[in-house]
Every structure is written in structure tokens, then in C-alpha cells.
């Protein structure tokens, strides 16, 4: 399993770097345009549910392709593999990053504050992933949406001089997406099935 995880992380690192670059670029634009924290919050609460849709879709589709068609099992895997990881990458890790950078950053868990929206997003992704188990495009969409949601968590719930922090923000964006997204979309559903990951997925 450790070899599987290492292989997937290595394969997906370049695209995750690309996602983090787009995030750093967006950060520069946010500063130049002077986007308010209120606007960032609105954007975050759009991107985070979209991230959950793509995450639950990719996780469900991967599990669906390599396991039985039991609806309850698909529901459990798709739900916990998306909401848990999306909360980790979009909220917990940015909050931890902000704390480590000594920023005054607020903690806002959407799965509690916006539980209806979050659960609807997860169930939508699960339904699509069950009916149409396609994994590649949802996974790439998941990575980008996760990167952007993590970025807007920073700007929504903390205020500081962002430009000097962009190299560190880039690092946090990469780490907040790289491990959680690969585990959620690929390793977790395959681990649950007990099968080996195919060479091409």
C-alpha cells in the first residue's frame, strides 16, 4: 500500500504543482484587484461545494469501477471519501497553515455551518459517479477546485499582506491538495475494495 501511495503521489505531483501555480496567480490578482474578504467568502462557499461534488464523483466512480454495485457501499465510500477529505484540504490545512504563519485566521467548518448545501453536493457527486463512473476528468477538476477553495479560505477568513507570503502560500496549497486528493480519489476507494490499483486508471 505504501508503494501504491508513493506511486500515485509521484504521478500526480506535476498537475498539483500546476494547480498551486494557478492558486498563487489568483492570489496576486486578488491583491491587485483588492478583493474583499466578504467576496472571498462568497467565492469559497461556491468552490468548496463544487470541490465536494467532484471529489465524491471521482471517489464513487473509482469504487464503482472496481467493486460491487451495492448502493449502500457506494454511498458510504463516496460520502466519507469526499466530505472528510474536502474539509481537510479546504479548511483544516489552510487554517493550520494560517496558524503556522502567525496569521489571525478564523475557523469555519462548512459541513457544520452549511450542512444542507454540503450534503447535497456530496449526494449529487455520488449519484453522478454511480451512474457514470468516469474518473480522470473529475479527478483533475477535483485538484483544481480544491486548490482554489483552499486559497480562498486564506483570503476569506484572514487579512494580511499576502504578496510576501506567496511562496509559503504556494507550498501550503500544494500540500493541502496533493496528499488528500490522491488518497480520496484513488487510494481510498481501491483500498476499500481490497484490489490492486490498475496500471492505467
pTM recorded for the entire structure? 0.87
Average pLDDT per run of 10 along the chain, which is 201 residues long?
A: 69 86 94 94 96 89 75 87 89 94 93 92 93 72 89 94 94 87 67 55 45
111 located within any domain: yes
Does residue 127 contact residue 154 with C-beta atoms inside 8 Å?
A: no
200 located within any domain: no
In the chain, the number of structural domains is 1
122 located within any domain: yes
Q: Domain range holding 109?
A: 2-193
Rg (CA), the chain: 17
201 located within any domain: no
106 located within any domain: yes
102 located within any domain: yes
199 located within any domain: no
Tell me, what's the pLDDT at 64? 82
67 located within any domain: yes
Amino acid at each position: 500500500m505504501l508503494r501504491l501511495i508513493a506511486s500515485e503521489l509521484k504521478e500526480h505531483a506535476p498537475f498539483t504543482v500546476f494547480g498551486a501555480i494557478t492558486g498563487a496567480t489568483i492570489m496576486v490578482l486578488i491583491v491587485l484587484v483588492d478583493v474583499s474578504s466578504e467576496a472571498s467568502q462568497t467565492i469559497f462557499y461556491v468552490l468548496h461545494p463544487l470541490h465536494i461534488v467532484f471529489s465524491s464523483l471521482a471517489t464513487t466512480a473509482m469504487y464503482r469501477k472496481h467493486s460491487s454495485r451495492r448502493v449502500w457501499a457506494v454511498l458510504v465510500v463516496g460520502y466519507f471519501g469526499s466530505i472528510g477529505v474536502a474539509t481537510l484540504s479546504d479548511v483544516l490545512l489552510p487554517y493550520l497553515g494560517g496558524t503556522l504563519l502567525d496569521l489571525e485566521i478564523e475557523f469555519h467548518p462548512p459541513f457544520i455551518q452549511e450542512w444542507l448545501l454540503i450534503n447535497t453536493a456530496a449526494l449529487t457527486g455520488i449519484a453522478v459517479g454511480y451512474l457514470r463512473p468516469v474518473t480522470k476528468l473529475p479527478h483533475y477538476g477535483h485538484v483544481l477546485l480544491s486548490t482554489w477553495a483552499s486559497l480562498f479560505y486564506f483570503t476569506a477568513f484572514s487579512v494580511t499582506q499576502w504578496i510576501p507570503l506567496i511562496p509559503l502560500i504556494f507550498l501550503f496549497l500544494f500540500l493541502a491538495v496533493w496528499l488528500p486528493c490522491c488518497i480520496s480519489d484513488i487510494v481510498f476507494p481501491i483500498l476499500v475494495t481490497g484490489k490492486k490499483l490498475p496500471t492505467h486508471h
